[in-house]
Amino acid sequence: MIMKIIRKILIVLAVIIAIPLITAIFVSKDFSAQSEITIDKPKQEVFNYVKMLKNQDNFGVWQLSDPE
């Protein structure tokens, strides 16, 4: 009795694990993301600003979303 229940549970778990794996075979494997910004400053000024590590906290996405 208990063995039948355990067997059914294992079969269900195997199916739950197998479905995403089988689905992944047929899903497109190409992925592309692009982003573009325009900075209205001379290149040298931007470079001089960005090369200083302490300035990178002023424009980083993760730093801006961190509620310190």
pLDDT at 35: 86
List CB contacts of 55: < 8 A, sequence separation 6 or more: 49
Q: What is the pLDDT of residue 65?
A: 72
DSSP codes, 3-48 = HHHHHHHHHHHHHHHHHHHHHHHHS-------------S-HHHHHH
What is the span of the domain harbouring residue 22?
A: 1-27
Per-residue pLDDT band for 67 (boundaries 50, 70, 90) equals low
Please give the pLDDT value at position 15. 97
pLDDT tens digits, 28-63: 888 888 888 898 999 999 899 888 888 877 777 776
Task: Please calculate the CA angle 64-61-51 and round it to the nearest 5 degrees.
Answer: 100
Residue 3 lies in a domain: yes
Q: Which of 45, 28, 46 is nearest to 37 (CA)?
A: 46
pLDDT of residue 58: 77
Give the per-residue pLDDT at 64: 66
Asked if the structure places residue 32 within a domain, the reply is no
Q: Classify residue 23: in a domain, yes or no.
A: yes
Q: How many domains does the chain have?
A: 1
Residue 58 included in any domain? no
